[in-house]
């Protein structure tokens, strides 16, 4: 399971052999859309139809933020410098209004649906759809008494899950980053195809992967008013700590019992892992290190400790000379 956690953190993209200047429609485009286009160096060409606009800008969240150039036919164009391989969120700003590119599929990131373009990683295919047995990704809803609401999650079931009716599986709880949601590991990260390929190659054991929505608020608690409060302020930090604690209880009191009751899991700590990216890494540290009776494997990918009490837990653990239960199977990755 450690190998699985490490593999899933790798950026996902669809590989295609291209030469510099050989622009082809991005694999993230909607059906039939010629733009955006990507070439073999990682340059991205954006083209937007806005004949009556006076100013159009492109806003790559991890790349250029620049004016587009109006063409005689009413289209606006811009070509980026080479971008690093991976998925790049962006929006277009037309006369001050921010929109998604109609030529691109939308992905949930930055707390909203936005366009994104996939820049292929040359020579890599671990995230491709291959001719191997495929698992299934199922949508589930579970009721949480902690939040007083129905909550959504995606569950990856390995190949042959339905056919092997007597087999039980270990479980990895895999958490998304801040501003994203439970769909990100599959839609942006292609985690299901990575798992299919690793399982087929024999480098990962078949497992169930649960991807849950990482934002939570306790039942009856109103949303905090953080208007004008900067990140890092006492009010924002308090709100984040309360959300983290609520999510901890949701996972341990609602989600895990639901998963163990619904699927053929091996319902013990030796066969239960948790990993997460960024905010999900913070949540992973907080939950697992406070519940070592439930988890034996921990994976934190750029995970912060800014809002978690597990920092004091692990410091106490390391300085006391004590070891977690069953230390041979308790591992962390960061």
- Per DSSP (E only), the strands in 80-205 are 86-94, 97-99, 106-109, 112-119, 136-144, 149-157, 171-175
Do 30 and 163 share a domain, yes or no? no
Phi, psi of 236 (to 5 degrees): -70, -40
Percent of the chain at pLDDT exceeding 70:
85
Same domain, yes or no: 115 and 132:
no
Q: What confidence tens digit (pLDDT) does each residue in 214-230 have?
A: 999 999 999 888 888 88
Determine the Cα–Cα distance for residues 251 and 256; give it in Å rounded to an integer.
6
Domain CATH code at residue 53: 2.60.40.10
Task: For residue 14, tell me if it sits in a domain.
Answer: no
Alpha-carbon distance of 105 to 28, in angstroms, equals 6
Mark whether 106 and 163 lie in a shared domain.
no
CA 147 vs. chain centroid, Å, equals: 22
> Is residue 267 within 8 Å of residue 260, measured between CB atoms?
yes
Same domain, 260 and 295: yes
Give 35-46 pLDDT, tens digit per residue: 999 999 999 999
Indicate if 216 and 97 belong to the same structural domain. no
Average pLDDT, the chain: 87
Tell me: pLDDT of 323 over 50.
no
Tokens of 46: 């954006």
The reply to whether 145 falls in a domain is yes
Residues 109 and 135 both lie in one domain: no
Q: Which two tokens stand for residue 98?
A: 């921010």
Residue 146 lies in a domain: yes
Do residues 106 and 148 both lie within one domain?
A: no
More confident residue, 49 or 229: 49
Q: Is residue 13 part of a domain?
A: no
> Minimal CA–CA distance to 256: which of 144, 133, 122?
144
| Residue 263 DSSP symbol | S
Q: Is 15 inside any structural domain?
A: no
Examine the domain organization and report whether 66 and 214 are in the same domain.
no
Average pLDDT over every residue of 325-332: 38
Query: Considering the domain boundaries, does residue 16 fall inside one?
Result: no
* 105 and 252 assigned to the same domain: no
pLDDT digits (tens, 9 = 90+) for 151-206: 999 999 999 999 999 999 999 999 999 999 999 999 999 999 999 999 999 999 99
Tokens 């009413």, residue located:
74
Q: Do the domain assignments include residue 18? A: no
Domain end, chosen from 119, 147, 179, is at 119
What CATH number is attached to the domain comprising 200? 3.40.50.1820
pTM, two decimal places: 0.84
119, 138, 162: which is the final residue of a domain? Answer: 119
Q: How far is CA 213 from the centre of its chain?
A: 10
Residue 16: per-residue pLDDT? 37
**Contact assessment for residue 196 and residue 135, using Cβ atoms and an 8 Å cutoff:** yes
Of the listed ranges 87-101, 102-116, 121-135, 230-244, the one predicted with least confidence? 230-244
Q: Is residue 229 part of a domain?
A: yes
208 and 316 housed in the same domain: yes
Same domain, 94 and 188: no
| Domains of the chain: total | 2
Single residue among 87, 103, 119 that ends a domain in this structure? 119
Residues 130 and 75 in one domain: no
pLDDT digits (tens, 9 = 90+) for 264-300: 999 999 999 999 999 999 999 999 999 999 999 999 9
Range of the domain at 239: 2-8+126-333
- Does residue 146 contact residue 218 with C-beta atoms inside 8 Å? yes
């Amino acid at each position: 399971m450690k190998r699985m956690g490490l593999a899933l953190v790798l950026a996902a993209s669809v590989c295609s052999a291209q030469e510099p200047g050989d622009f082809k429609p991005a694999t993230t485009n909607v059906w039939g859309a010629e733009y955006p286009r990507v070439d073999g160096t990682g340059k991205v060409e954006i083209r937007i139809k806005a004949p009556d606009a006076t100013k159009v800008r492109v806003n790559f969240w991890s790349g250029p933020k620049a004016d587009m150039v109006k063409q005689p036919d009413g289209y606006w164009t811009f070509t980026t410098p080479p971008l690093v391989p991976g998925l790049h969120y962006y929006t277009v700003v037309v006369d001050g209004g921010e929109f998604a590119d109609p030529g691109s599929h939308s992905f949930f990131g930055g707390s909203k649906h936005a366009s994104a373009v996939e820049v292929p990683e040359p020579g890599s295919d671990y995230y491709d759809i291959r001719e191997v047995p495929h698992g299934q990704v199922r949508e589930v809803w579970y009721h949480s008494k902690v939040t007083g609401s129905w909550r959504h999650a995606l569950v990856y079931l390995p190949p042959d899950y339905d056919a092997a009716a007597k087999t039980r599986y270990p479980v990895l709880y895999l958490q998304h980053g801040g501003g994203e949601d439970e769909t990100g590991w599959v839609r942006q990260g292609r985690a299901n195809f990575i798992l299919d390929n690793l399982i087929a190659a024999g480098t990962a054991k078949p497992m169930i992967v649960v991807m849950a929505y990482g934002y939570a608020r306790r039942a009856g608690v109103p949303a905090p008013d953080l208007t004008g409060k900067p990140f890092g302020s006492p009010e924002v930090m308090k709100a984040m700590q309360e959300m983290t604690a609520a999510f901890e209880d949701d996972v341990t009191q609602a989600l895990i019992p639901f998963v163990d009751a619904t699927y053929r899991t091996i319902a013990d700590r030796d066969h239960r892992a948790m990993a997460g990216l960024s905010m999900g890494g913070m949540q992973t540290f907080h939950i697992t290190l406070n519940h070592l009776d439930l988890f034996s494997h921990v994976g934190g990918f750029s995970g912060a400790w800014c809002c978690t009490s597990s920092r004091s837990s692990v410091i106490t653990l390391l300085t006391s000379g004590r070891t977690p239960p069953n230390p041979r199977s308790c591992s962390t990755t960061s």
